[in-house]
Structure 1
Amino acid sequence: MAKGFLANLKGVDAFGKTTDDVKVKTRTGAFLTLLSAAIILSFTLMEFMDYRRVYTDTSLIVDKSRGEKLSLRMNITFPRVPCYLLNVDVMDISGETQTDVSHSMRKTRLDSYGKQIRGTTVTGLQNDIDKHNEPKPADYCGSCYGGKEPESGCCNTCEEVRTAYVQKGWSFSNPDVIEQCKNEGWLDKLKEQANEGCHIVGRIRVNKVTGNVHLSPGKSFQSSQRDIYELVPYVREDGNRHDYSHTIHELSFESDDDYNYRKAKVTNAMRKRLGLTQPLDNFERTTNKAKYMFQYFLKVVSTHFRTLDDQTLRSHQYSVTHFERDISEGALGDTPQGVHLQHGIYGVPGVFFNFEISPILVVHTDTRQSFAHFITSTCAIIGGVLTVAQLFDSVLFATTRALKKKA
């Protein structure tokens, strides 16, 4: 009975067989067979490469992060500005102001050839022109020379006298008559560094709101709700003016919980494909004018990369527009030593980074074709090519037989 059942199954065989006696082999059929094999192999290889290729899908969503802090990483070289003329200030629309940021910045003095001067790296609140040569007596109380006195009523350092002058609205243009400055050798240190450059590197924590970071000469103070810049002597020892030519080696944004791809095994090809390069990296601008302002307007966008191994790479990309202008008229005037001015009236020489945070979050997701799709496509290629080849062979064979009979 089992044999009879199996015998009945032959009726549903969709792949009918022919005996070797009725098979006809032709040279045309052999050629079509080889051609079909070549086409199947080529198409299958292309499908396999497509299966192995990684595609990136991009989506835009609203950035719902609140109260985050961003870190601005910078690495910039100024070949013709000494370190004492470089002060980093941060302002944003929330009203927060950071003046003379130094605790997270490292300044290294460079000689006239751009090489590092050994033992001159300064970090934190330390600065070569602000060190005191001799300790003051405990009861020492220095004069402020008519400037606005601090709460203690004493100006014991040259820096405190400078601050008092600025708060009063005066120009600190003659430090050689100030006792504190003479004792500290303030002018001698300025002359010593006059022909040097500076390499500044570090990171600044900023609020995730619109703001700006600027590297400008002198120190900034707040007086009567105004931002005042006191510009220190701006002339080189050889009589030439300093200028703010610079090279930006790195400028990037990252949040506190960003995935540190610098420590991950990310290849250069992957970094390029994900767009992890920043537009201002290795960017250089030059000028021969002392009274010159460089401005960079940055549009910062939070970006997430989701890799195939389920890792989320958090980053912040930005686009940038560069603008520069000569501020010779009214910026520094003809004052040989230094002036004070209200920020925003004429402008200040230096480098300014104005950043705006986008409310959009860009998500890039890596995807790859599934194995099932690859198998299905491969079967479709094999079946399709063989079917077309068989139809073509049948037409040729039938045509050839008809022509032979007619002949």
Structure 2
Amino acid sequence: MYQSQQNPRAYGGVSSPQAQERDGGSLLEELDKIAPIKSFDAFPKVQSTYTAHSRRGGVLTMVVSLLIFLLVLNDLGEYLYGEPDYSFYIDSDMGDDLQLNVDLTVAMPCQYLSIDLRDAVGDRLHLSQAFAKEGTIFDAGRATHQKLAKASKAPSASKIISDSRRSTPNQKKSLSGLRALFSSGGSQQKHYQYRPTHNYVQDGPACRVYGSVSVKKVTGNLHITTLGHGYRTGHHTDHDLMNLTHVIHEFSFGPFFPAIAQPLDMSLETTDEPFAAFQYFLRIVPTTYVDAKRRYLMTSQYAVTEATRTYQHGHGVPGIFFKYDLEPMSITIRERTTTLYQFLIRLVGVIGGVWTVAAFSLRVANRAQKEVTKAVAGEKDVIPSSLSRPSGSRRSSSFLGMGSSSPGIGRTNSWLSAESSSDWKRR
């Protein structure tokens, strides 16, 4: 008889599906003998019916979620605002001039004030006409005492550059075009960037001094004194009119940016003594800010310490003194932020890492708790046998004087016995 044989070429030179399954099964079995394949499963899938929800697991999930939120919030802040990077250089522009910006109010009339500047070169500049002086009523407003002022967090480079590009609400606008050509001259036009004087009073009891002047880039001392006390003049100020209580609205170096906060801005100093001296010691550092958008701002920042003294008549010079010195180095504050691609990678790493470590820690804690419980209770692992049966279930059936404990044989013997008994009854 003809027997059909399968041709391996019928499958394109490949063995039949049955052979593939047989070979594949044997290959997996061989690999499983070397190393169990299931032990390499990095993503075990457990059905929800085999999991148990507990209060401890819920609390742990909330704690891990809170930790992930805090870490992501930190990375988000770094992505949005960045971190400053400081670079120090030797200042090579020592020969250039420096712009000085002053805006303060003194609690005495303007005609009794004298403004002078002495520098390390030996020059003395009489600046009473260079600054604008306007009568007003002394008002401290929102100014605070310099000793009580708290150091706030340094703003970012982006905020400083953005503030320098905007105008304050009370800042005067500059004149341009024909208006600047035909506008009337005077001290008011030299300092158009400053706000108008609040509570302006002609020959008022207080004086507002403001303006910007160009000085040499060397150590200097700006004096605001009373006539007849400090420098020899033909006028003498009555002691009852001398009150050097003052509010500093603006004191800065470099380009004038009224929206940028400086250490002496909105500071207040009060006194009841006519012969009082307020001294401010400043250390100036040329500073360049670079934000994440590569925008540059070249200005100056300074650190300040202050001291107040009172004198007896003829034993000292009353006044307000700003003694400034320049550091021989400059600083560049560059804002560095992470890109969106880097932020997403860090986000995935934070979430996955925290969650994986928390799951592993929970498994270790559960295993340790189980081992401690077994050690304390003295329990032993008991593996139930599938071959064990109750003693009452073992029955011996006799058939021709032979006994058997096998269930199959027992059932056969019982069937034979029942049939034999029925035959004897019919007989």
Q: In 2, distance between residues paired with 1:298 and 1:84?
A: 28
Indicate which of 270, 293, 299 corresponds to 2:283: 299
Deviation string 1:131-178 (CA, Å, 9 cap, x unpaired) is xxxxxxxxxxxxxxxxxxxxxxxxxxxxxxxxxxxxxxxxxxxxxxxx
Q: In 1, distance between residues paired with 2:372 and 2:267?
A: 71
Q: In 2, distance between residues paired with 1:18 and 1:319?
A: 61
Other-structure match for 1:175: none
Other-structure match for 1:378: 351
Q: State the TM-score, normalized to the length of structure 2.
A: 0.54
Consecutive unaligned residues in structure 1, runs of 5 or more: 116-121, 127-191, 221-226, 263-275, 332-346
Other-structure match for 1:162: none
Number of aligned residue pairs: give it: 290
AA in 2 matched with 1:247:
V
Other-structure match for 2:115: 88
Q: In 2, distance between residues paired with 1:200 and 1:17?
A: 74
Q: In 2, distance between residues paired with 1:295 and 1:31?
A: 65
Task: Give the CA deviation at 1:298.
Answer: 1.3
Indicate which of 133, 143, 148 corresponds to 1:107: 133
Other-structure match for 1:287: 271
Q: Secondary structure at the match of 2:327?
A: strand
Q: Secondary structure at the match of 1:229?
A: coil
Other-structure match for 2:76: 52
Question: Structure 2 vs 1, CA of residues 392 and 211 (structure 1 numbering), >3 Å: closer, same or farther?
Answer: same
AA in 2 matched with 1:123:
S
Contact 2:140-2:247 at 8 Å conserved across structures = no
Task: Give the CA deviation at 1:108.
Answer: 0.9
Higher helix share: 2
Q: CA RMSD in A?
A: 4.5
Q: State the TM-score, normalized to the length of structure 1.
A: 0.57
Q: In 2, distance between residues paired with 1:283 and 1:235?
A: 27
Q: Secondary structure at the match of 1:376?
A: helix
Other-structure match for 2:248: 248
Other-structure match for 1:139: none
Other-structure match for 1:37: 61
Indicate which of 28, 33, 41 corresponds to 1:15: 41
Question: Structure 2 vs 1, CA of residues 114 and 197 (structure 1 numbering), >3 Å: closer, same or farther?
Answer: farther
Deviates more, 1:105-114 or 1:297-306: 105-114
Task: Give the CA deviation at 1:394.
Answer: 5.0
Q: In 2, distance between residues paired with 1:17 and 1:322?
A: 66
Q: In 2, distance between residues paired with 1:403 and 1:249?
A: 80
Task: Give the CA deviation at 1:404.
Answer: 7.4
Deviation string 1:235-262 (CA, Å, 9 cap, x unpaired) is 28xxx34232222222222x24x8x483
Q: In 1, distance between residues paired with 2:113 and 2:370?
A: 88
Contact 2:283-2:303 at 8 Å conserved across structures = yes
Q: In 2, distance between residues paired with 1:373 and 1:125?
A: 55
Indicate which of 198, 206, 226 corresponds to 2:207: 198
Question: Structure 2 vs 1, CA of residues 87 and 39 (structure 1 numbering), >3 Å: closer, same or farther?
Answer: same
Other-structure match for 2:50: 25
Question: Structure 2 vs 1, CA of residues 57 and 230 (structure 1 numbering), >3 Å: closer, same or farther?
Answer: same
Q: In 1, distance between residues paired with 2:140 and 2:362?
A: 72
Deviation string 1:59-104 (CA, Å, 9 cap, x unpaired) is 3513424133322222111122x2122232222113443213534x
AA in 2 matched with 1:62:
Y
AA in 1 matched with 2:360:
T
Q: In 1, distance between residues paired with 2:111 and 2:135?
A: 9
Q: In 2, distance between residues paired with 1:286 and 1:20?
A: 75
Write the mapping of 1:141-156 to structure 2, written as runs, cut at 5 A.
none
State the identity as a percent.
Answer: 20
Write the mapping of 1:351-362 to structure 2, written as runs, cut at 5 A.
351-362=320-331
Other-structure match for 1:72: 100
Deviation string 1:14-63 (CA, Å, 9 cap, x unpaired) is 32788989x99353x76665455334422221111111224644535134
Question: Structure 2 vs 1, CA of residues 109 and 389 (structure 1 numbering), >3 Å: closer, same or farther?
Answer: same
Deviation string 1:313-366 (CA, Å, 9 cap, x unpaired) is 4443322232343454437xxxxxxxxxxxxxxx54321111011123344444
Contact 1:73-1:251 at 8 Å conserved across structures = yes
Deviates more, 1:394-403 or 1:227-236: 394-403
AA in 2 matched with 1:378:
I
Contact 1:261-1:313 at 8 Å conserved across structures = no
- Confirm whether residue 123 of structure 1 aligns to residue 187 of structure 2: yes
AA in 2 matched with 1:349:
P
Other-structure match for 1:160: none
Other-structure match for 1:387: 360
Other-structure match for 1:322: 306
Contact 1:291-1:326 at 8 Å conserved across structures = yes
Task: Give the CA deviation at 1:398.
Answer: 7.6
Task: Give the CA deviation at 1:406.
Answer: 5.8
Deviation string 1:290-315 (CA, Å, 9 cap, x unpaired) is 34332222122233444334334444
Deviates more, 1:34-43 or 1:390-399: 390-399
Contact 1:53-1:368 at 8 Å conserved across structures = no
Q: In 1, distance between residues paired with 2:308 and 2:323?
A: 13
Consecutive unaligned residues in structure 2, runs of 5 or more: 1-13, 32-36, 142-185, 191-201, 384-427
Contact 2:227-2:237 at 8 Å conserved across structures = no
Q: Secondary structure at the match of 1:53?
A: helix
Question: Structure 2 vs 1, CA of residues 296 and 16 (structure 1 numbering), >3 Å: closer, same or farther?
Answer: closer
Other-structure match for 1:209: 218
Q: Secondary structure at the match of 1:355?
A: strand
Larger radius of gyration: 2
Question: Structure 2 vs 1, CA of residues 229 and 65 (structure 1 numbering), >3 Å: closer, same or farther?
Answer: farther
Task: Give the CA deviation at 1:396.
Answer: 5.6
- Confirm whether residue 232 of structure 1 aligns to residue 227 of structure 2: no
